Copies of this chain bind each other. A is one copy, B any other.
């Protein structure tokens, strides 16, 4: 399957029906149909159809998730969009690199392009759940792009990648982010209980460890292996704690 079938557009904390409709239309323009709203800031999306010219099928098939990790749970790869060029220790991809990367990763399963939130962009925590981040280079005069216009640029580039012959699918399906999130939660518990992580600020070290696993491009089977390993470690640690 190529990028056309595998790409999911995730709109985080959408509040404008106009933007939603415009994104649905440009998705249809470039042959993409999977749209997920994550933690929408409103549910009054009636108005969207007005702008979603011939994008109705995108809106009909649209899914809604309570939070970003849930929106990404079925995906093996996600790239988050940000207008900020200063990203603590992360090197942003160019739009072209991101489109190429999405096409490559689509050989392992579903991939996500994350946009939003309309007010202040994606937070560090939200970007942290994305394997990569991308920045659309803009002028200092007006660095911040409208959501639907940023989507137009990125989906045009993804459409071009989608037009290339699809890469042969990987023999093993990639780890779904839902499984990786469960793994992260379990690692957090166990590594706190074993007094490895600092209870005051566990996130930073945990995120680093999680990112290494993302970089390893685990298969779904390997991710489940890790999850089950940490379940056993958890029981072991608990036994140790009650024994002492």
User: Which one of A137, A144, A146 has the highest number of Cβ atoms from chain B below 10 Å of its Cβ?
Assistant: A146
B152 contacts A54, C-beta separation under 8 Å: no
Bound complex: CA of A153 vs CA of B150, how far in Å? 9
Query: What mask results when residues 121 to 159 of chain A are scored 1 for a CB within 8 Å of chain B, else 0?
Result: 000000000000000111101111110111011001001
A115 at the interface (CB under 8 A from B): no
Q: Does A178 contact B (CB under 8 A)?
A: no
Question: Within the complex, what minimum Cβ distance (angstroms) separates A115 from chain B?
Answer: 13
Q: Are A28 and B153 in contact (CB under 8 A)?
A: no
Q: Are B22 and A142 in contact (CB under 8 A)?
A: no
Q: Is A29 on the interface with B (CB-CB < 8 A)?
A: yes
Range of interface residues on A (Cβ < 8 Å): 20 to 34
Copy count, this protein chain: 2
Cβ of A80 under 8 Å from chain B? no
A146: chain B residues within 8 A (beta carbon): 22, 25-26, 51, 53
| A164 CB to nearest B CB, Å | 13
**Assembly CA distance A153 to B99 (angstroms):** 14
Nearest-Cβ distance from residue A24 to partner chain B, whole angstroms: 9
CB distance from A142 to the nearest CB of B (A): 4
Report if A31 contacts B (CB, 8 A).
yes
Cα(A26)–Cα(B145), bound, Å: 7
Q: How far is the CB of A133 from chain B (nearest CB, A)?
A: 18
Interface residue? A213 (CB, 8 A):
no
Inter-subunit contact A26/B149 (CB<8 Å): yes
A215 to B8, CA, bound (A): 44
CB <8 Å contact, A139 and B31: yes
Q: A53-B142, A142-B53 are in contact. Are A29 and B159 (CB under 8 A)?
A: no
A226 at the interface (CB under 8 A from B): no
Please report A residues at the B interface, Cβ cutoff 8 Å.
22, 25-26, 28-31, 51, 53-55, 57, 95, 136-139, 141-146, 148-150, 152-153, 156, 159-160, 163
Could you jot down 6 A-B contacts, CB within 8 Å? A26-B145, A28-B142, A29-B143, A54-B142, A145-B152, A153-B153
